[in-house]
Chain A
Amino acid sequence: MALKIVKGSIDRMFDKNLQDLVRGIRNHKEDEAKYISTCIDEIKQELKQDNIAVKANAVCKLTYLQMLGYDVSWAAFNIVEVMSSSKFTYKRIGYLAASQCFHESTDVIMLTTNQIRKDLSSPNQYDTGVALTGLSCFVTPDLARDLANDIMTLMSHTKPYIRKKAVLIMYKVFLKYPESLRPAFPRLKEKLEDPDPGVQSAAVNVICELARRNPKNYLSLAPLFFKLMTSSTNNWVLIKIIKLFGALTPLEPRLGKKLIEPLTNLIHSTSAMSLLYECVNTVIAVLISLSSGMPNHSASIQVSFSRHAHTFSLKYLGLLAMSKILKTHPKSVQSHKDLILQCLDDKDESIRLRALDLLYGMVSKKNLMEIVKKLMLHVDKAEGTTYRDELLTKIIDICSQSNYQYITNFEWYISILVELTRLEGTRHGHLIASQMLDVAIRVKAIRAFAVAQMATLLDNAHLLTGNTQRNGICEVLYAAAWICGEFSEHLEEPMVTLEAMLRPKVATLPGHIQAVYVQNAAKLFATVLRGHEGVPADSMVAQETSQLLIDRLPLFVQSSNLEVQERASCILQLVKYIQKLQQKDVEVAEEVTALFAGELNPVAPKAQKKVPVPEGLDLDVWINEPPSGSESEDEGRKSKGKAVFAKEESRHTKPRYTEVDEKELAKRREVRKAEQANNPFYIKASPSSQKVYQDGVGVEHIPVVQIDLSVPLKVPGMPMSDQYVKLEEERRERNKADKKKKKDKKKREKGEKGRRRRGDSGPESEEDITPAHMVDIVTEEMPENALPSDDDDKDPNDPHKSICWAPCVNTAGYGVDQPPLYLSPHPSLSLAPHLQVCDIQGNLQDGSQVVVSVIFENKCDSFIKSMEFNVLDSLNSKLQRPDGAGPHDGLIVPFQLPPGISNEARFIFSVQNIVMPQKLKGTLTFIVKTDDSSTHEKLDFKLHFTCTSYLITTPCYSDAYSKLLESGDLKGCSLKLEGVNQPFHHLLARICFHHHFSVVERIDSCASMYSRSIQGHHMCLLVKTADQTVSIDAKCDEPGLLGNVLDEIKLTFSQC
């Protein structure tokens, strides 16, 4: 025995220890894998020995190898062996290995329960400590259940070293075995006031983590945390507590108000940036939840913060914080514009991207040009295409946001777009193109300018396409060609542009662009003809133009792209025909122009839906009666047995009424392709065949005139956007001067602005900035006989509804019979919150007020902000607005809605006459903010005040009731309801619930009811029922009101 031990220790001298292993791996850089595999073999040998020291050493090495990514799960049992060693030096190696290698599905963990329990109760605090640390890494639900009690006892251990570890591991235990939370919680709470700061901090950590998952349950601990916050000096603990408060404030607004002061104190006193940052973050959260807004506060905090923002990390966090503030207090962020613009110069891309995000939210009419100018400078300087592309999309996003809300000068915008085409290697050519198209189509006044710009662009097309790297940008030519063709009447020299569009180089452009070129060349041709006809001297020019087309078009006829080919050959034939006519001196201009007559307008997304179905057309009626089911089934069965031909036949004869699904279509496509492939007469569109076609004609023989330039493009004669910035400034100055003189002019301009979307939250002075020219943003076209928008989306089964997130009307809670609030979306609405009126109630204190509670629910998956609730006042009913607000101003809804969130707001209306029911029209404007854009949206609705809503449930005693009836002041009226087959008490309950009555007395099938209006009218009902007939005799001192209420009661029962 003794010999064995001696032998073991001699062996050990030759074993590698961890240091040797690390060194060895370093020295075997070339054959590391081989070296490690021999090491693992050695370790396996070592593990087979009885000597625990050898085993521990082996396990220690395994831990290192595991970290390098080698699987050591095969040694799990050996690890447990080492864990159970009585010597702490070995035990800790075992626990370390276990904490690194074990996870829930390691099966040997089951064997450790008793060992761990033993270690937990060990008199040596380090044994207990190491067991707790290890357990925190590999605790399983079983271990948690079995050891929860032991750990709970340790929470009150005499040594703080154990206490803090035990407290912290309880969190893991709660997660794995939730039942333990309830019994352990009181002790956990106790630990918040532990004399040892380490234990305290551990308890704070655990509770913060729990509270993050379910903040509501921890509100009661707020005072305790408040005390800790003012007393603790440990910054890490303070941060946790402040974070917790950040999570609690949205639930308890009063807490927020209390917090502001200590937090601002901390902000001013602390020297730790991390704490400062946390405080600022929480203050922001508090301000947002208070939503009443304390802009001064947030501004002052921000200043103190940005003052420190000299290091890179802080800059980044500062920007993050600002983006939070921006959501609620855009103005206070706007004042830091320069600072944010500076961040664009930062070397760190993440800082630049954050700054860009901020800029998006900061633009206003006033600063748009300036910001974009800065961004354009950055585009020039930017390294790396990703960031440059990001800049480009941001510029376009910023300009086009909210329906071009902030653009005052579209000439400027067009020139910005043109300048952007200079970007090398951008992927966003199509984005620029679509912007050009959008602006040219929708802003009529800009067309002449746009066309001139596009013509220059076309003329210099070789600069865009010359470099193959710039492929993405040639999409712009698509837009340019289309704009020049469509609005060719604005072209000064259509001939030049036509020539530019038919250059041989065009044939190298992508097919879809060539197609547009060819088509628009025809439009230009028509314009040229019209311009030159009638004047004898010019008829030569017209004929030359025809010749030009005839000369150049064949190139496109040979195109490999089907679309180009088809259009070119059509137009070529047309031109040839025209040429013949021209030679006979026939005037053709008018007829050619007629080919392209009519203006293209954008169509509203819902226009198709709005076209009314013609009378007498029922789309659901069969045109031909379908064959009866049994017959077709029969046929199907028969065909199965028949030959191939018969089967084919049956498919043709059987009409298909069911909708073909995607799969079926795909299958058919496959079949067709297979057929085509086998058909020798079918010409396939294979790339090889195209090549042969082109080569045969010899494209390369056509002389190429244009010279490729690889220098960055500066299109000659192109106005630079910078000039506009200056011009704009001058213009604004002038405008200001003008305005003082002409006050009446201002009115007119305001009316002009009214046509564009309003609701910008920019500074007041922004209102003074008027658009440079009469910009008329063409609204989207709707069919002439479109149905009134009220009827839109009425059909609950409308399949389109699910596509366009239309709001649904829900009136739960009040007035099931008559939805008090009708909602109908605006035509252009695609995203919408969901509105729900939960209650319309008379105000008990004031006889002329009605309180309307509206639940706003965000049903789309974007963030909704800046909601403004507005109602068009009638003579009788007025929305109560704050002092100083104009009669048409909307009320700002005091919250924002993240996706899926709902909140309730109350609005007070003053009502003069309550005798008649009323409908009020209103709109809700709001901004839908998605990741990359934000759009202004509008929701129209109707608010229906029934007479019932003026009634207040008031109890009345029978003697007072009879006195009232006897007084003779009341006038009577009666109502008979037939076919009501519900129990009498249901009927009474309905009247009470829906019409705010209370039952005074009930005898068998007869009851007396009472209610009072907000203006003090008494209303008495006597309800009797017999044989499904209900008769109501009613008396009231205001017959008009009574009549209307009775009508409403009737409606309630007719709808059930």
Chain B
Amino acid sequence: MIKFLLMVNKQGQTRLSKYYEQVDIEKRPSLETDVVKRCLSRKKEECSFVEYKDFRLVYRQYAALFIVVGISDTENELSIYELVHNFVEVLDKYFSRVVSSIMFNLDKVHIIIDEIIQNGHIVETNKNRILAPLLALDKMAEAH
């Protein structure tokens, strides 16, 4: 299962974090820095999977944005790797400029993630269906 999902910039600052397993709020920053450090230090030609403590990290870089997913070792690394791409495609479809938009629309990104992943499992991969609640919400806001 998926343990957490992080979006970080190139400087290693967390842009978004979502945990599917309870981690103490005090421990989160140190875990995040540690995880991010491992992924950022890797070169482009190195593989996208990192063994970390008792779980694995799958990461993908999009321009200045890193997406890191922590998974248990029963999960298929490649499928998560592809899921990350699917997620980014959804973001791309909704936001015009992904990197800066995420910064200011974190709540919407959360809605998207919640549509894709629920309690650590993939729940939806169809882009239109993922975006449906968000679009409905936007309509509501316009009407308001």
Identify the interface centre among B48, B49, B76, B82: most chain A CB within 10 Å of its CB.
B76
Residue pair A209, B121 in contact (C-beta under 8 Å): yes
One of B39-47, B61-69, B89-97 at the interface: B39-47
Residue pair A316, B49 in contact (C-beta under 8 Å): yes
Contact with B along A280-320 (1 / 0, CB 8 A): 00000000000000000000000000000001110111000
Categorize the interface residue count of chain B. Answer: 35 or more
Nearest residue in B to A103 (C-beta to C-beta)? B22
Give the chain A neighbours of B22 by CB distance below 8 A.
103-104
A18-B107, A71-B25, A243-B76 given; A88·B123 CB < 8 A: no
A69-B28, A212-B74, A350-B47 given; A169·B82 CB < 8 A: no
Q: Is A165 an interface residue (CB 8 A)?
A: yes
> A161–B130 Cα gap in the complex (Å)?
10
One of A232-240, A477-485, A892-900 at the interface: A232-240
> A19–B108 Cα gap in the complex (Å)?
12
Which of the residues B82, B123, B136 comes within 8 Å of A198, measured between beta carbons? B123
Q: Is B35 an interface residue (CB 8 A)?
A: no
Which of the residues A22, A68, A165, A312 comes within 8 Å of B45, measured between beta carbons? A312
Give the chain A neighbours of B136 by CB distance below 8 A.
126
Nearest residue in B to A139 (C-beta to C-beta)? B119
> A317–B107 Cα gap in the complex (Å)?
35
Q: Is B110 an interface residue (CB 8 A)?
A: yes
Q: Is B99 an interface residue (CB 8 A)?
A: no
Contact with A along B84-113 (1 / 0, CB 8 A): 000000000000000000011011001100
Residue pair A272, B82 in contact (C-beta under 8 Å): yes
> A274–B124 Cα gap in the complex (Å)?
17
A129-B133, A351-B47 given; A236·B78 CB < 8 A: no
**B106 CB to nearest A CB, Å:** 6
Q: Is A66 an interface residue (CB 8 A)?
A: yes
**B8 CB to nearest A CB, Å:** 12
Nearest residue in B to A66 (C-beta to C-beta)? B25
Residue pair A69, B29 in contact (C-beta under 8 Å): yes
Give the chain A neighbours of B50 by CB distance below 8 A.
350
Residue pair B137, A202 in contact (C-beta under 8 Å): no
Give the chain A neighbours of B25 by CB distance below 8 A.
66, 69, 71, 73
Give the chain A neighbours of B29 by CB distance below 8 A.
69
**Within B3-33, which residues are at the interface with A (CB < 8 Å)?**
14, 16-18, 20, 22, 25, 28-29
Nearest residue in B to A71 (C-beta to C-beta)? B25
Residue pair A133, B48 in contact (C-beta under 8 Å): no
Give the chain A neighbours of B118 by CB distance below 8 A.
132-133, 136, 165, 168-169
**B100 CB to nearest A CB, Å:** 10
Contact with B along A58-101 (1 / 0, CB 8 A): 00100110111101010000000000000011001100100110
Residue pair B43, A347 in contact (C-beta under 8 Å): yes
Q: Is A812 an interface residue (CB 8 A)?
A: no
Which of the residues B14, B16, B124 comes within 8 Å of A164, measured between beta carbons? B124
**A15 CB to nearest B CB, Å:** 16
A133-B114, A350-B47 given; A317·B17 CB < 8 A: no
**B131 CB to nearest A CB, Å:** 12
**A502 CB to nearest B CB, Å:** 49
Residue pair B121, A350 in contact (C-beta under 8 Å): no
Residue pair B104, A22 in contact (C-beta under 8 Å): yes
**A–B complex contacts, Cβ < 8 Å, 29 sampled:** A18-B106, A22-B106, A68-B14, A69-B28, A73-B25, A89-B140, A100-B18, A129-B133, A133-B118, A136-B118, A164-B123, A165-B118, A165-B123, A168-B119, A168-B123, A169-B118, A201-B123, A205-B121, A235-B79, A239-B76, A277-B76, A277-B78, A278-B79, A312-B46, A312-B48, A313-B78, A316-B47, A316-B49, A350-B51
> A348–B1 Cα gap in the complex (Å)?
26
Give the chain A neighbours of B16 by CB distance below 8 A.
67
> A73–B17 Cα gap in the complex (Å)?
17
Give the chain B neighbours of A540 by CB distance below 8 A.
none
Q: Is A973 an interface residue (CB 8 A)?
A: no
**B29 CB to nearest A CB, Å:** 4
Give the chain A neighbours of B144 by CB distance below 8 A.
89
> A169–B118 Cα gap in the complex (Å)?
8
Q: Is A172 an interface residue (CB 8 A)?
A: yes
Give the chain B neighbours of A18 by CB distance below 8 A.
104, 106-107
Contact with B along A331-362 (1 / 0, CB 8 A): 00000000000000001111100000000000
Give the chain B neighbours of A277 by CB distance below 8 A.
76-78
**Within A40-69, which residues are at the interface with B (CB < 8 Å)?**
60, 63-64, 66-69
Residue pair A209, B123 in contact (C-beta under 8 Å): no
Nearest residue in A to B122 (C-beta to C-beta)? A236
5 nearest interchain CB pairs?
A274-B78, A348-B46, A312-B47, A136-B119, A274-B79
Give the chain B neighbours of A410 by CB distance below 8 A.
none
> A161–B124 Cα gap in the complex (Å)?
10
**A71 CB to nearest B CB, Å:** 6
**Within A140-192, which residues are at the interface with B (CB < 8 Å)?**
161, 164-165, 168-169, 171-172
Which of the residues B42, B45, B79, B140 comes within 8 Å of A239, measured between beta carbons? B79
B residues in contact (CB < 8 Å) with A: 1, 14, 16-18, 20, 22, 25, 28-29, 42-43, 45-51, 74, 76-79, 81-83, 103-104, 106-107, 110-111, 114, 118-119, 121-126, 129, 132-133, 136-137, 140-141, 144
Nearest residue in A to B72 (C-beta to C-beta)? A212
Q: Is A137 an interface residue (CB 8 A)?
A: yes
Residue pair A350, B119 in contact (C-beta under 8 Å): no
Nearest residue in B to A167 (C-beta to C-beta)? B123
Q: Is A720 an interface residue (CB 8 A)?
A: no
Which of the residues A88, A89, A164, A169 comes within 8 Å of B119, measured between beta carbons? A169
Instruction: Other than A22-B106, A104-B22, give 4 A-B pairs with Cβ distance below 8 A.
Output: A67-B14, A99-B114, A278-B78, A351-B47
**A420 CB to nearest B CB, Å:** 28
Give the chain A neighbours of B121 by CB distance below 8 A.
168, 171, 202, 205-206, 209
Q: Is A709 an interface residue (CB 8 A)?
A: no
**A32 CB to nearest B CB, Å:** 11
Categorize the interface residue count of chain A. Answer: 35 or more
Q: Is A224 an interface residue (CB 8 A)?
A: no
Which of the residues A68, A126, A272, A351 comes within 8 Å of B137, measured between beta carbons? A126
Residue pair B137, A236 in contact (C-beta under 8 Å): no
Give the chain A neighbours of B111 by CB distance below 8 A.
92, 96
Give the chain A neighbours of B124 by CB distance below 8 A.
164, 198
Residue pair B79, A22 in contact (C-beta under 8 Å): no
Q: Is A251 an interface residue (CB 8 A)?
A: no
Q: Is A273 an interface residue (CB 8 A)?
A: yes
Residue pair A67, B17 in contact (C-beta under 8 Å): yes
Residue pair A313, B126 in contact (C-beta under 8 Å): no
> A161–B17 Cα gap in the complex (Å)?
25
Identify the interface centre among B25, B78, B114, B119: most chain A CB within 10 Å of its CB.
B119
Give the chain A neighbours of B46 by CB distance below 8 A.
312, 347-351
Residue pair B74, A317 in contact (C-beta under 8 Å): no
> A1042–B47 Cα gap in the complex (Å)?
73
A18-B106, A92-B111 given; A236·B49 CB < 8 A: no
Give the chain B neighbours of A22 by CB distance below 8 A.
103-104, 106
Identify the interface centre among B103, B107, B140, B144: most chain A CB within 10 Å of its CB.
B107
Residue pair A315, B82 in contact (C-beta under 8 Å): no
**A914 CB to nearest B CB, Å:** 53
Give the chain A neighbours of B129 by CB distance below 8 A.
161, 198
> A695–B52 Cα gap in the complex (Å)?
51
> A274–B125 Cα gap in the complex (Å)?
15
Residue pair B48, A347 in contact (C-beta under 8 Å): no
**A239 CB to nearest B CB, Å:** 5
Residue pair B107, A60 in contact (C-beta under 8 Å): yes
**B109 CB to nearest A CB, Å:** 11
Residue pair B47, A313 in contact (C-beta under 8 Å): yes
Give the chain B neighbours of A60 by CB distance below 8 A.
107
Give the chain B neighbours of A69 by CB distance below 8 A.
25, 28-29
> A165–B114 Cα gap in the complex (Å)?
10
Give the chain B neighbours of A351 by CB distance below 8 A.
46-47
Give the chain B neighbours of A63 by CB distance below 8 A.
106-107
Give the chain A neighbours of B17 by CB distance below 8 A.
67
